[in-house]
Every structure is written in C-alpha cells, then in structure tokens.
Chain A
Amino acid sequence: MRAFARRHPVWTGIIALAAAVALWLIFAVWPDGLEDAIGRKKVFLNAFFNGITLGGLYFLVASGFTLIFGLMRNVNLAHGSLYLLGGYIGYYVADSTGYWLLAFPVAFVVVGFFGILLQMLVFRRMEGEDLRQTLVTIGISIVVADLMLWGFGGDFYNINPPEWLSGPMDTFFVTAVKSNGEAVYMKYPMVRIVIFAASVVVGVAMWLALNRTRIGMMIRAGVDDRDMLSATGARIQLVFVGVFAFGAGLAGIAGVVGGTFQTIAPGEDIRFLLASLVVVIVGGMGSIPGAALGALLIGLAEQFGSVYFPTYAVVLTFLIMVTVLAFRPQGLMGQG
C-alpha cells in the first residue's frame, strides 16, 4: 500500500479524499442543506448498507469464479447455473427440514459435487482449448437452466431465515436528530448483517488459506506457473478437482444466501453470471482481493444507482467496467 502511495501520489490523494467524504457522510449528522439537495440520510445509509451486503453476496459468487479461473484458466460460464442450483437446493432443505443453517452445507456439498463432475467430464477433457470450454459451458448452462425450469417451474422462491435472524437490528448509525435533541438510530435487517459478516469471514479465510498454508502456496504457485507446479510432483489434478469443487460449492452457498436476501427464479443464473463477470473484470481475473474490491464497487454502484438515478442504475455498473477496461485492462488488482 505504501508502495502504491509512492508511485501514484495523485490517486492516493483522490482515494483518501473520497474515503474521508464517505466516512463523513456515514457518521455525521447531515445539515439541512444537504438533505434538501440529495434526500434523507436514512435513504443514503440504507443504500450504502444494501450495497455493501450485496457486494458480500457478489463476492461469494465471484470468488469461486475467479479462483477457478486463476488456477486453471478455465472460464466456467455455467457458474451462474451453479448459483441457481444452490438456491433451489437450499430452498428445499430449509423448507423441508426447517433448519436454515442446514441448507448451507447441503448446498455446498451437492453443488461442489456438480463442480467435480464439470471438471472431470468437461474441463479436463478440453485442457487448453479455451474457446471450446467456453462454448461447452454455455451449452451446459442452457441445458441446466431449462432442466431447472422444468423441475422447479417459473415461480419465485424465497428462503426464510430462522426466527432469531429475522427482523431488524439496531445499529449505532445516526440517521437524524429529532427536534428534542434525541438521536434516531438506523435499523437494519439482522440477517443481512450476519450474512455479510459471514462472507467477510469466508473471504479472509480464503486469503489466509491461500497465503499461509502449504496447499495455498501450491495453488498460488500453480497460478503463477503451472509447469513448475507439476514439476514439483504436486498432484496437480487433485488440486484442480479440489479447487473446482470448492469454487462451485461457494457458488452453491451464495445461492442460499441469494435466496434469503432476494428471490430464486429462472433468469437469476444469467444475472449472477454477469455480475461475476463484471466483478472479476473490474477486480482483476484470478485475484481474491480483486474480487472483494470489485464486488464492493459493483454492489455499491448498483444500490446507489437504483436510489439516486434509477433509470441508469445498471448502466453505472457497466460504466465502471468500461472505465476499468479502458485504463487498466488487467483489472484493478490484476497482474501485469
């Protein structure tokens, strides 16, 4: 970070200034003039929190995608289908057993198993043939989407969080001050906060696992130089299968989270595939911190966009992507 500051003093200044403005907007009590200009602080804070928690969800989906790409150079365009499948599985588990928490391991295992199938039946057979892999996964996503439509119908499903997580939670953010001087604190859905915290834990755990463990070193060595990894005698195929299963499993978990946050329905697969693509293009292919940064940016852009310029909310997302591509084609955290 210090190296970055030394190399790009202007950018560092701009980023620091933006961070300071954001912090002030979040913590300060807004003067009347500001509320007149851009609306109530409650709306702003809500958009901010929605953006951050949506970013957490995007991170869960995109980190699996970027991990798989980073290690194996496989672009899995069926990643959105894995997300949606996870959502449906999660719904059935939570609905039939009544245990919301049980939905996560089941979705992880089942979708992870699908990931293993994909790796062994498709990607391993077409190693090095990027275009064919991409085409085959597009074909798979078309077929899987239709099978799921067949099996689950076109209805919207919503996974209900358990009693102890539903309902709002008091936060310490002041949204306004009443005329009698009493501060009004913001309330926010408990489940979103818990899930966001969980995705931060997952992210940090992944980062630690990649940077502090032997298997993580092996994976990172594989990202840098695959020939070297196989030369060290590491059982590279086993590592590949493991990473693929883990990345797919993450998408499955994300499906459960998405079903709890929002809804599960046909078409969500493409939406989340696109979100993952944009997140990793912005953040940098194959980089976990990049995925986190990209997910946050895109989540915030979407939520602020839909509050402050509803017509062009989606366009804002893509504008970010285009800007990054134009000035830093390898992504914000990408190498090279």
Chain B
Amino acid sequence: MVAIDRPAPREDSRMWIEKIPAAYWALVVILLVIPSFASDFVMFQIFGWTFILGLIALSLMFLGGYGGMVSLAQMTFAGFAGYMVAILGASAIDTISQGWPWWVVIPLALILTVIFATAVGWLAVRTEGIYTIMITLAIAAAFFYFTRQNYDVFNGFQGFNSVLPPRLFGVDWRGPEAFYYLTLFWAAAGYFAVLYVARAPFGLALQGVRDNPRRMAALGYSVTAHRVAAYSFAALLAGIGGILLTWQSAQISPGTVAIQPAIDILVIAVVGGLRHPIGPFIGAFLYVLLKTFAVDVLVALGLGGERFNLLIGLGFLVIVFFSPDGILGLWEKLRASRNRDPLTGRERH
C-alpha cells in the first residue's frame, strides 16, 4: 500500500498545459459548471462535504502513502483547527470566543494545529508500524475526552455553535454556490500541493524513508526529522479541512473529533486508495453518497436506516480483503486485465 509516482517522461517538450490528458480537462470543466445545474443540497451537502472529507483524508494519504505511517489522529488535527477558529474567532459562546479578526484567527489556528501535530508526530514516530496506529488512536481518544470534559476552553459537551466564515468581499461563504467553490478551491489546492511536494526533495526523501529507512540514514538523511515534518505538512491540509468542516456545520463539538469520525477518515482514505492523492476524494465521494442515500437503500431492503454502520463496515471489509489498494487498485487491476491479451496473458501495448 505505498504511493507510487509514475513520473512523466521528462524529455517532453510540449507546454505543461498541453500535457494534461483530456479526461482531466473534462473533470475540471464538470467540476466548474456543476453549480449551474445542481441543487443547493447537492452543492453544499454532497460536494462541499466530499471536498472537505477528501482534504482531511488526503492528509492521511500523504502520511500513509508517501511516509508509510498510518495515523488515526488526522481528524483530531482537523477538529483542533476548527476549535481554534471557534475559540479565537467568533461564535455564539461569547464568554469563551475571543472574536478576533479572521486574518489573525485563521493563520494562527493553522499554525497552532501544525505545532500540535508536530508534537504528536514526534511522539508517534518514536515507534514504528502498527504502534503508530495504536498511539494515534489513543491520542485521538484523549483529545476527544479532553474536549468533552474541559469547559473553560473547549466548552465541554456542547462545543461551539454559530461559527461562521468571514463575509469576505461581501460574499456569504456559506451560501451553497460560494461554499462549493470555496471547498473546491482548497481541495484542488491540497491535491496539487501533495502532488507537487511528492516530487520535491522533501517528498522524495520521505518516500525513501518509507522504502528503506536504514539506507536513508546511511545517506545522511535524518529519518526522524523527515517523519515528523510529514506530520506537520499533513496537519496543514487537515487543518484547512477542519476549518471548512466547522464552517459547513457552523459548529464544532466533541462529536466532530470522536473515535468514529477518526476511523471514518481512515475508511475513506483506504477505500479510495493510498497510492495517489485522488484516492481520498474518490473515497470521500462514495462515503458521502452512502451516508446521504444509504438510509433509503436500507429501508428499501427492509433493514431499517440505522444499519448504516453495518453497510460501511462491510464495504470497508470487502475492499481491504480483496483490494488492499482501494478503489484505485481495483481500477488499475481492471485496466491491466483489459490490456492483457486473453490468449497469451501478455500485456498489449
């Protein structure tokens, strides 16, 4: 389950813009024009949520796919950023919320999130492999219980409501269309940032650490520092996702950072596929569709809507059992088998 970059041939002399396959252009156009025909619900609830969850799961994909570290604390980092925005900015809980201007609050919230994640990363990378999952799960649980019990800063069980995005340029950013473009922008920014960094020295070194930490150390790289830095970078993505998530529901509470959502992020990233940054968005889209429409399907099957988790769990199990690389892996298998000559079993070119 490693992210694999297939670099484009370098000798290509065309402009970068000409090298993008037609399918990508089609996707870009579709994503840009969706608001012209989709309903408010589809824009805000389906796509807005997909982009946000995809962004948070992308931070897990970066850590897991390129760094070989599977963290269950990504939702915690997202929720932390959301809490910071609620605490430092404005909310209905004006006894706690500071009401600072957005241009202080948002950068500060992201910086604090990165610091928090760096500390967690430093703890988590002291051990390896499966320990990482266990430790990040424990940290996620600790943060959840802490927010639920702490009333001075995190306002306990209730959390914060009426956490709204700033009215920048006179636009109501929670309006369906504006929110759609806002989340699309950040999802795309995160996607391209991950693609870009993956081939920068830091990203390459991180993949080197994933493949062979000992050799990397022998080459003069600091394995620990690269791993910790990966947590910091991933937390930036998760933090942006968390702020958007807080604005979407206009509230943040311990429920946002509970164990279940933390595991949901893992499910999304793994089901989509950890090999490429598009995977988390595919996973998120499926998850949101299921979460929105599964109730109807379940009722139609006579099972009752509350069996949603059963469906999610079974779907997850099937994917991990049969395609450890998620939907992306299935897609690649399918393509490989289509390229294969049915008689000789050789690849066709």
Contacts and interface: CB of A to CB of B under 8 A. Distances in A.
A131 B133 CA distance: 9
A132 to B, nearest CB: 6
B310 interface: yes
B137 A143 contact: no
A105 interface: no
Contacts of A311: 149-151
Given A146-B307, A150-B310, A277-B134, A136 B142 contact: no
Interface stretch (B23-31, B35-43, B93-101, B122-130): B122-130
Contacts of B290: none
Contacts of B70: 131, 134
A259 B203 CA distance: 50
A143 B138 contact: no
B324 interface: yes
Contact of B130 (A131, A274, A317): A131
B321 interface: yes
Contacts of A330: 127
Given A142-B316, A318-B138, A313 B149 contact: yes
Given A146-B313, A150-B307, A278 B149 contact: no
B118 to A, nearest CB: 14
Contacts of B316: 135, 138-139, 142
B149 A315 contact: yes
A314 B145 contact: yes
Contacts of A62: none
A127 interface: no
Interface string B110-129: 00000000000001001101
A31 to B, nearest CB: 33
B145 A326 contact: no
Contacts of A84: none
Contacts of A321: 138, 142
A38 B321 CA distance: 55
Interface string B280-318: 000000000000000000000000001101101110110
Contacts of A143: 309-310, 313-314, 317
B236 interface: no
B135 A281 contact: yes
Interface residues on A, range: 35 or more
A191 interface: no
A318 B139 contact: yes
A130 interface: yes
Contacts of A138: 263, 266-267, 316
Contact of B123 (A131, A146, A326): A326
Residue among A142, A274, A330 with max Cβ neighbours from chain B (10 Å)? A142
B141 interface: yes
Nearest to B120: A322
B323 to A, nearest CB: 11
Nearest to A121: B321
Contacts of B313: 139-140, 142-143, 145-146
A156 B116 CA distance: 37
B321 A277 contact: no
Interface in A127-160: 129-132, 134-136, 138-140, 142-143, 145-147, 149-150
B146 interface: yes
B278 interface: no
A71 interface: no
B138 A130 contact: no
B259 interface: yes
A10 B316 CA distance: 51
Interface string A278-295: 100100010000000000
Interface in B317-334: 317, 320-321, 324
Given A140-B317, A270-B259, A325-B123, A281 B138 contact: yes
B328 to A, nearest CB: 15
Contacts of B228: none
A245 interface: no
Contacts of B182: none
A61 interface: no
Given A278-B138, A314-B149, A139 B317 contact: yes
Residue among B123, B139, B141 with max Cβ neighbours from chain A (10 Å)? B141
Residue among A135, A277, A278 with max Cβ neighbours from chain B (10 Å)? A135
Contacts of B134: 75, 277, 281
B130 A146 contact: no
A189 interface: no
A136 B318 CA distance: 9
Interface string A224-243: 00000000000000000000
A330 B321 CA distance: 31
Contacts of A135: 266, 270, 316, 320
B216 interface: no
Residue among B129, B266, B310 with max Cβ neighbours from chain A (10 Å)? B310
Contact of B310 (A147, A274, A312, A329): A147
B157 to A, nearest CB: 12
A107 B313 CA distance: 25
Contact of A315 (B130, B142, B259, B270): B142
Contacts of B150: 311-312
A136 B321 contact: yes
Residue among B126, B259, B320 with max Cβ neighbours from chain A (10 Å)? B320
A324 to B, nearest CB: 10
Contacts of A318: 138-139, 141-142, 145
Contacts of B312: 142
Given A131-B129, A132-B324, A318-B141, 12 more contacts: A75-B130, A134-B70, A134-B133, A140-B317, A143-B310, A146-B307, A274-B141, A274-B259, A313-B149, A315-B145, A321-B142, A326-B126
25 contacts: A131-B1, A131-B70, A134-B133, A136-B320, A138-B263, A139-B314, A139-B317, A139-B320, A143-B313, A143-B317, A146-B309, A146-B310, A149-B306, A278-B138, A311-B150, A311-B151, A312-B149, A314-B145, A315-B145, A317-B142, A318-B138, A318-B142, A322-B123, A325-B123, A330-B127
Return the 7 tightest CB-CB contacts between A and B, nearest first: A142-B313, A318-B142, A143-B313, A314-B145, A139-B317, A329-B126, A146-B310
